Amino acid sequence: MISKYFPSGDIAETIWIKVQNSDTIYHGSYTSYYPEGRVMQEGFYHEGKPDSVWLTYHRFGARKSKFTYKNGVRSGEFKFWYEGGGLYQYGYYRNDLLNGILVTYHPNGKVDSESNYADGVLDGPSTVYSSEGVIRLKLSYANGLEDGAWESFFETGEVNYRGKKENGKFVDTLYTYYKNGTVQRKAFYLKGVITGVMTGYYPDGAVMNTMNYLNGEITGTYSAFFPGGAIAETGSYSSNKRNGAWRSFFPSGSLNSYGDFVNDSLDGLWTVLYENGALRQKGYYVSGNKAGEWLFYNSKGQFVMQGFYFNGLPENIWIIYYPNGSVAGRVAFKRGRQFGAAYLFGENGELTKSMNFKIPENFSR
């Protein structure tokens, strides 16, 4: 027996050996230790190869793992334990490769997952559970890749997704469900890439939206609907970005707003209407920010305000009008804050109040 020691002088290892033709061969029991003196690992060698049962331990003495070796390779059941003593995992080896079922546990003792292996790779059904014992995922593997029926579940057990995979990729229709069991979304996959029309639904089954995918990107017409079925919004996509003319509607069917998108940003002239069809406001966007002059109206079509934007913030002089067209107020802005003189007028044009606003010293663009 050979003993090895830590610099402190405490035992580190004990190894049984034999010498054969000037070669030193491990043969017999083996034990390694933590510096505190507790056993870290123990097992047995036969002709230089691990054999029989091998155990490892957590630092404070609890079992950590158990493996069985035959002629140097893992063979048979193995187990892992949490430091607190509960079983963490068990499975089986054959010729040093995982074979059969592998089960992992949550710290509370409930099953975390169950999987099947064949010659070291996942093969067959696999199930994942929550710490409360609820199934969260069910799938199958073939030669290490997800293959076959695929389902995921809400934390309370209802189906969330249901589809199919081949060679690790989604194929055919993937369904997404609400907790009440109705379909939330339906999409088609071709070799893992979403393709064709995807349809979204309200919890009562009414269509919520439709869009078209090409090579995994939203392309072409997009439409959204109110729960009652009336069109809510429509426009077009290219490469996952909104581009071109877009329109939105009120539930009654009357037009709400219209304008253009460029690379997913509002751009150009946009017009917003009241439900009665009267003009509410109009102005320009540049790369998603309001810019230039904007005009505002009340529901009777009367002009009530005009102002200017720069990089999406109010700028320069803003004027408010009474329905009869006379000026109600003038306010100056700088980078979105009121700045300088502001005046309020009566309907007869008489000045009723004036104010002065200063920009804080630490204010910056």
pLDDT for position 358: 65
The answer as to whether 281 is a domain residue is: no
Report phi then psi at 86, rounded to 5. Answer: -75, 150
Q: For 339, what's the count of Cα atoms within 13 Å in the CB-facing half-sphere?
A: 13
pLDDT for position 355: 82
Q: How many domains in the chain?
A: 1
The answer as to whether 218 is a domain residue is: no
The answer as to whether 53 is a domain residue is: yes
The answer as to whether 312 is a domain residue is: no
The answer as to whether 353 is a domain residue is: no
CA–CA separation, 299 and 136 (whole Å): 52
Residue type, 149: A
Mean pLDDT across the chain: 94
> pTM of the predicted model, to two decimals?
0.83
Task: State the chain's maximal CA–CA distance in angstroms.
Answer: 119
The answer as to whether 46 is a domain residue is: yes
Residue type, 336: G
Could you tell me the residue range of the domain that residue 69 belongs to?
1-78
Report phi then psi at 311, rounded to 5. Answer: 55, 40
DSSP secondary structure of 12-49: EEEEEEEEETTEEEEEEEEEEE-TTS-EEEEEEEETTE
Handedness of CA 179, 181, 185, 186 (dihedral sign): positive
Residue range 306-321, pLDDT digits in tens: 999 999 999 999 999 9
Residue range 250-273, pLDDT digits in tens: 999 999 999 999 999 999 999 999
The answer as to whether 61 is a domain residue is: yes
Residue range 96-138, pLDDT digits in tens: 999 999 999 999 999 999 999 999 999 999 999 999 999 999 9
Report phi then psi at 217, rounded to 5. Answer: -120, 145
pLDDT for position 136: 98
CA–CA separation, 174 and 144 (whole Å): 22
Low-confidence spans in the chain with pLDDT less than 50: 363-365
pLDDT for position 357: 64
For residues 207 and 223, the answer to whether their CB atoms sit within 8 Å is no
The answer as to whether 7 is a domain residue is: yes
